[in-house]
Each structure stands twice: as C-alpha cells, then as structure tokens.
Amino acid sequence: MPSILIIGAGLSGATLAERYASAGAKVLVLDKRSHLAGNCFDHLDQETGIRVSNYGAHLFHTNSQEVWDYVKQFATWRPYQHQVLVKVGEKLLNLPINLNSVNQFFELSLPDAEAMKKFLAKKRHKLAKIQSSQDYVLSMVGSELYEAIFANYSQKQWALDPSELDASVIKRNPIRYNRDNRYFTDRYQALPEGGFEGLVTKMLKHPNIKLQLETDFFAWKATADLSKFDQIFYTGAIDQYFDYAYGHLEYRSLDFHFERHNQEFYQATGAVNYPSLDYPFTRIIEYKHFYPPTKSVSSTVISKEYPTWDGEPYYPVPRQRNHDLLQKYQREAKKLENQGIYFVGRLGTYRYINMDQAIAEALRLFAKLTKKASEI
C-alpha cells in the first residue's frame, strides 16, 4: 500500500487525500491550524445561527463539469448567485460594471449593449500596450469610472498604484454589456449545506486517511522519517519550504472585523465594496445572504475587511519582483519532483486560485501521477 504525506488540509490537500485514499493508499494529512478546510473554513455563529467564514466569504462557482461532479459527492449543495455592489458617493452600483452601473453612474438610460459600447468608445483611452491594471481599466471604461471604482480600491487593497499591478488582477472582473447583475456567470454556483467545514470533513472521512491538526510540518519533520512516504504533497508557502533562500514572496492579508447588528439585514447584497478613501476598509460582507440562519433571528453578522501586510498570507501580489523570485523557487521545487515531492495549491504555487481551480488542479495531478505509476 503506497504511503502519502499531505501538508495542508485545505481543498487542494483534501482532494489529493481523498483521491489517494480511495485508490487504496495510506494517507497522512498534517495541518498547522486547529481545523481542517484551510481558508474555506467556516462555522456557525453560536448567538445567531448564521454561518460565518473565518477567512473571508467563500462562494463556490465553476464551469467544470468534472469539478462539479466531484464535489457533489460530498455535500448537498444549495444554489446561490452572488451579487456585489460598490458604493460611489451616495450611489450603489452593480459590479462587475454592466449596463446598469454605467447608466446609474453617468445618469443615463442607455438601452442596450450597442449604446453602451458607443458611449464607452468615447471614454476609452487608446493605449498601444496593456500591461497594468490601470491600462486595462482606462482602455475599457475611461478615467471617470477608473477613478471612482478602481484607483483607490486598488491602492487600499494592494497598497500599490494600479499602474504597478498586472492587468491580470482586474481582468478577473470583466466588463459586461448587458444587465446581468450576478458577480459570477459560471454554470454552477452553489454553497455546500453544512458549509465548507462540512464538505472537507466528508472528503477526509476515510479509513485510509489520518488527519493530524495543530502540526506544523517544519517542526514535525525534525523528528519524522520522510523516507517512508512514497509521495509528498506540500500545500504550504513555497518560499517557506526553501527557508526563504531567495527572499520573501509578498502577500497581502486582510484583517476581518466581525460585528453583530440588531437588524434583519445590514445591506442589500452579500458584499458591498467601498473604494473611497473615506472608509478604511475595502468591503463589507453580510453572511446572512449566503445561508439562511439555523435559528430565527432578527440580527445579522457582518465583517469589514481591512487590507494589511501582516497576518495570514492571502493574496499573492502579482508584480514583477514576485514573478522573478517565484521562478527561482519553482526551479528548486521542480528538482524535488524526482524525489516524489510536489508543490500544490494556492501557497505552494503562489497564485490566486479559486476553489474550483484548486480542486481541478489536484484532480489533474492525481490523474497524471497515478497514470505514470501504472505505466512503470
């Protein structure tokens, strides 16, 4: 029976653990935290019965039939279509920018996509090359919307000017020429009953899987015999694995300030963004929009998000310095593959990936390695 070690009980680690265990391997999963599910972890707020995410709202969405078929095995899913508003002055505009938000912002009544395109064509900056987030937004919607929605938000979120940020950051939020107010347009959008905590608990519930929480890999390995594992999957931070030999990769973090309010709802949608510098936070999340509370309550729970450089490593900072450093770490990581050590997931690959990507990549890696093993 092959023996597998997995560092990290987030979705990447849990998917690999479940796949290997189901294929008959013996799997040990370590996590330094006191809970499983990684950053997707959530819990029921005792007082209100509202499900609250510990590390920021997590909303599942995917176009992948493979991922959807896979996750369906471990939970009953309730449909949830996310909507986001952005507060600009006294107005609340729909995000991503669409026909409704352009009409509201410019106080127009453009009837359709064609009219919106014609209108924005006059606003757009004609740039020869699109490199930064700033270039991208200016070339799509022009200065007014850029200033109102993106410039200060980026400054607060990343502590960088959007001219320093890769265009890829903003491209996650493309402009729409219709009135679709949903934040995501993926085919499958849903939340697991019992939360992501319940989902990952079920994934790891297998007689071949041993889960060891509150165990930091680096402290643990000092006395462990790693040679007894046939394969090791590491989902922690890639630079930490190499003891920061080339320097630290930058991460942006968030400080979550949770508040209970004695009112039915605090805001109209699950998320409202606050780009203005008048507010020190970037977003307010209201959890009651995601799951109905388990108790009948007239109160609600929100969290305000304050970006910071300290704390949990959440967002890789996509700028040149980090790309260069990452390449050096990736070269080292690649050399370890012939010893059966693989770097996986958000921290292991230093990329912002959604939950469905984390699962898809873990499924793909499992398929690739087991196919290779069966060919030997």
CB of 45 to ligand FAD, least distance (A): 18
Structure tokens, 159 = 């502590």
| Count of residues in contact with ligand FAD, rule CB under 6 A | 35
Question: Per rule CB under 6 A, is residue 39 in the interface with ligand FAD?
Answer: yes
Degrees to nearest 5, angle at CA 369 with 365 and 375: 150
Smaller CB separation from ligand FAD, 58 or 176 = 58
CA dist 219 and 139 (Å) reads: 50
Stretch that binds ligand FAD, among 6-14, 20-28, 243-251, 317-325 (CB under 6 A): 6-14
Residues numbered 295 to 314 that lie near ligand FAD (CB under 6 A) are 314
Question: Per rule CB under 6 A, is residue 30 in the interface with ligand FAD?
Answer: yes
CB of 250 to ligand FAD, least distance (A): 14
Indicate which single residue of 133, 326, 346, 350 sits in contact with ligand FAD (rule: CB under 6 A).
Answer: 346
Stretch that binds ligand FAD, among 58-66, 92-100, 133-141, 287-295 (CB under 6 A): 58-66
Sign of CA dihedral 140, 143, 144, 145: positive
Cβ atoms of 204 and 36 closer than 8 Å = yes
Structure tokens, 223 = 């006395």
CB of 196 to ligand FAD, least distance (A): 9
Smaller CB separation from ligand FAD, 105 or 256 = 256
Phi, psi of 322 (to 5 degrees): -75, -35
CA dist 238 and 347 (Å) reads: 6
**Beta-strand relationship, 231-234 and 283-286:** unpaired
Cβ atoms of 2 and 230 closer than 8 Å = yes
Stretch that binds ligand FAD, among 99-107, 162-170, 277-285, 355-363 (CB under 6 A): 355-363
Structure tokens, 158 = 């990343």
Smaller CB separation from ligand FAD, 33 or 87 = 33
Degrees to nearest 5, angle at CA 245 with 243 and 249: 85
CA dist 353 and 134 (Å) reads: 22
CA dist 111 and 117 (Å) reads: 11
Phi, psi of 26 (to 5 degrees): -95, 125
Question: Per rule CB under 6 A, is residue 52 in the interface with ligand FAD?
Answer: no
- Contact track, ligand FAD, 230-269, x by CB under 6 A: -----xx-----------------x---------------
Stretch that binds ligand FAD, among 150-158, 174-182, 214-222, 263-271 (CB under 6 A): 214-222
Sign of CA dihedral 225, 230, 234, 239: positive
CB of 20 to ligand FAD, least distance (A): 15
Question: Per rule CB under 6 A, is residue 54 in the interface with ligand FAD?
Answer: no
Binding residues (CB under 6 A) for ligand FAD: these are 7-13, 30-33, 38-40, 55-60, 216-218, 235-236, 254, 314, 345-347, 353-356, 358
